């Protein structure tokens, strides 16, 4: 199993190109199931989750081709992917595949909307919490689907097609909103989604569906209106830049000090995190090229943060921000309101000498002047990158184990950080 070795200390200086967003790419790829025509996605990140989803979609009959590198394109330029679901050959998504990536559960809505039936394994819990799917199923039921659970599988049917309705989410859910959008796009009549998630990835999916012929208004607000159409066509769409990747590197720079241009990052996608970083003492400037983050001299000021749905501070940056706060000049409190168990990084950060204790859903962090490198183990995607951030500023050597978590969501992490002066290398030797 690969590991990553980091020697902490160097400031980060240079340019980091920001990749296409994993959490936009996955639902966009799944949307290819909605049409017989070709969906072309540009700026697709090279990630393990993308490769796994291609296998899962292939199982349903989706053909794909990935365009080769064009002259002048860099190794970090996003890929172009053509997806073609001319015929759906199988409406079942088996446990072996869905259990490896939760987002693959989202194939349920397009399979049901197009084929009138789908059988998809329940995804189960994961390192960050129980993560139920009751609201996704409720959304489909509101559109007339019959849902049964048998032997760990959701069996959904709508033999005469889905019918528009009102979906009122009691809680903001990204996956629920993706599900509702894809299902309602092909339902007969009008659908209203209330208390919809407003995340940029929702807007990206809606934009792509509109290019495919869907009639959607209000994506990016709490109320989305959809007028169903009988079929959707092909489209070409560029995946939006990854706000979580951008925020992660911004925190890395705030941690080590230095000056980095996050090329292609869009400030409006992560304004709350940028505001918080400014309060910690980082200098943020935005240009046509992207977001520039600098911290030259001066310490890291402690700031209290609570995660919440967009546009508030994202749960997917919570672990990275906690890493930063371990070296703040004082006490900070980080409250996690989205997932009940997203503090697995706390005990690993402690291995660097960080002082953190948990009070229910809140981590109380007392900053220390120095961290010390250590062997640490990644537990989930964002937690593992928080360990990388700590390692970049720790004295001496850190070995991060279970790097496959990082590979799920961070493209060319070692190359991107290495190009800015970090001492980081992948060790491919067995554990």
What residues line the site for ligand EPZ (CB under 6 A)?
23, 26, 103, 129, 131-136, 171, 173-176, 197, 315-316, 338-339, 381-382, 409
* Catalytically annotated residues: 126
Residue 38 or 173 having the CB closest to ligand EPZ: 173
Residue 30 or 374 having the CB closest to ligand EPZ: 30
Which residue number places its CB atom closest to ligand EPZ?
175
Q: What is the nearest approach in angstroms of ligand EPZ to the Cβ of residue 418?
A: 23
Q: Which two tokens stand for residue 65?
A: 């081709």
Residue 81 or 317 having the CB closest to ligand EPZ: 317
3-state secondary structure of 328: coil
User: Tokens 């520039």 correspond to what residue?
Assistant: 292
Residue 169 or 352 having the CB closest to ligand EPZ: 169
Burial class (CB in 10 A: 0-12, 13-18, 19+), 266: middle
3-state secondary structure of 378: coil
Q: What is the nearest approach in angstroms of ligand EPZ to the Cβ of residue 383?
A: 9
Q: What is the nearest approach in angstroms of ligand EPZ to the Cβ of residue 63?
A: 23
Q: How far is CA 17 from CA 69, 242, 389, in A?
A: 17, 10, 18
| DSSP letter (8 states) at residue 147 | E
- CA nearest 253: which of 350, 347, 323? 323
Three-state SS string across 76-105, please?
Answer: CCCEEEEEECCCCCCCEECHHHHCCCHHHH
Q: What is the nearest approach in angstroms of ligand EPZ to the Cβ of residue 408?
A: 8
Enumerate the H helices of 260-380 as residue ranges.
271-280, 318-325, 345-350
Residue 56 or 294 having the CB closest to ligand EPZ: 56
DSSP codes of every residue in 170-231 = SS--HHHHHHHHHHHHTSBSEEEEES----HHHHHHHHHHHHTT-EEE-BTBS-EEEE--S-
Q: What is the nearest approach in angstroms of ligand EPZ to the Cβ of residue 26?
A: 5
CB 36 within 8 A of CB 428: no
């Amino acid at each position: 199993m690969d590991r990553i070795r980091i020697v902490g200390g160097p400031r980060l200086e240079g340019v980091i190109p920001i990749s296409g967003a994993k959490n936009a790419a996955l639902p966009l790829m799944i949307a290819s199931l909605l049409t017989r025509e070709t969906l072309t996605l540009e700026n697709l990140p090279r990630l393990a989750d993308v490769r796994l989803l291609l296998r899962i979609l292939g199982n349903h009959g989706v053909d794909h081709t990935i365009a080769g590198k064009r002259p002048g394109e860099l190794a970090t330029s996003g890929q172009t992917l053509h997806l073609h679901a001319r015929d759906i050959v199988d409406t079942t998504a088996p446990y072996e595949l869905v259990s490896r990536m939760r987002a693959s559960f989202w194939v349920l809505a397009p399979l049901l909307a197009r084929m009138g039936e789908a059988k998809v394994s329940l995804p189960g819990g994961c390192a960050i919490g129980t993560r139920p799917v009751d609201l996704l199923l409720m959304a489909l039921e509101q559109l007339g689907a019959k849902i049964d659970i048998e032997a760990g599988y959701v069996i959904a049917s709508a033999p005469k097609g889905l019918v528009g309705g009102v979906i009122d989410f009691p809680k903001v859910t990204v996956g629920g909103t993706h599900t509702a959008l894809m299902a309602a796009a092909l339902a007969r009549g009008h659908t209203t989604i209330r208390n919809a998630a407003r995340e940029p990835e929702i807007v990206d999916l809606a934009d792509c569906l509109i290019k495919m012929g869907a009639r959607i208004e209000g994506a990016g607000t709490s109320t989305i209106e959809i007028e169903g159409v009988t079929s959707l066509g092909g489209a070409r769409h560029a995946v939006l830049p990854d706000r979580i990747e951008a925020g992660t590197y911004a925190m890395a720079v705030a941690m080590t000090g230095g000056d980095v241009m996050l090329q292609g990052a869009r400030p409006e996608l992560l304004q709350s995190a940028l505001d918080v970083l400014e309060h910690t003492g980082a200098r943020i400037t935005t240009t046509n090229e992207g977001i520039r983050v600098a911290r030259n001299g001066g310490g890291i000021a402690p700031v209290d943060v609570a995660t919440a749905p967009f546009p508030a501070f994202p749960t997917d940056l919570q672990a990275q921000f906690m890493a930063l706060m371990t070296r703040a000049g004082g006490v900070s409190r980080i409250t996690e309101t989205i997932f009940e168990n997203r503090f697995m990084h706390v005990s690993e950060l402690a291995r660097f000498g960080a002082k953190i204790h948990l009070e229910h859903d809140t981590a109380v962090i007392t900053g220390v002047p120095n961290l010390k490198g250590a062997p640490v183990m990644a537990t989930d995607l964002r937690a593992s990158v928080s360990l990388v951030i700590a390692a970049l500023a720790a004295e001496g050597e850190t070995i991060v184990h279970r790097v496959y978590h990082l590979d799920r969501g961070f493209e060319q992490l070692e190359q991107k950080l290495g190009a800015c002066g970090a001492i980081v290398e992948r060790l491919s030797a067995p554990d």
